[in-house]
Structure 1
Amino acid sequence: MKVTVDLALCQDHGQCAIAAPAVFRINDEGKLEYDGEPDDSLRDEVEEAADVCPVQAILVQD
């Protein structure tokens, strides 16, 4: 699984970090950091994170 976040679109709301904390996190500067190739066992959480993103900045690919 490959995860891409359009950082130009992302507004750092952090909903993804709540839905999938093993993949997405807000750093000390308040900016999003993420694992671009998380384990497939996290797919449900990652897809939920993409769904709850207010600006739909997360793309999940196989």
Structure 2
Amino acid sequence: DHRNAAAGQIFSLDMAPNSVDDNYDGCTKEMANLVKTKYLEKEKSGSRKFEKSWQE
């Protein structure tokens, strides 16, 4: 029974800091562009392993 996997544990759901959320009307395309051109590049440049995984 999958319900037993987290028996006794409660995990609160909250907004992750510095995350991208496309639920804001009118800015989905702009945020997708920022993720592609700014944030992804920043993440790739900070980790060689992460960058390599994006090249594969």
Q: TM-score, normalised by structure 1?
A: 0.27
Structure with the bigger percentage of strand: 1
- Whose relative contact order is higher, 1 or 2, with alpha carbons under 8 Å and at least 6 apart? 1
Structure with the bigger percentage of helix: 2
Q: TM-score, normalised by structure 2?
A: 0.29
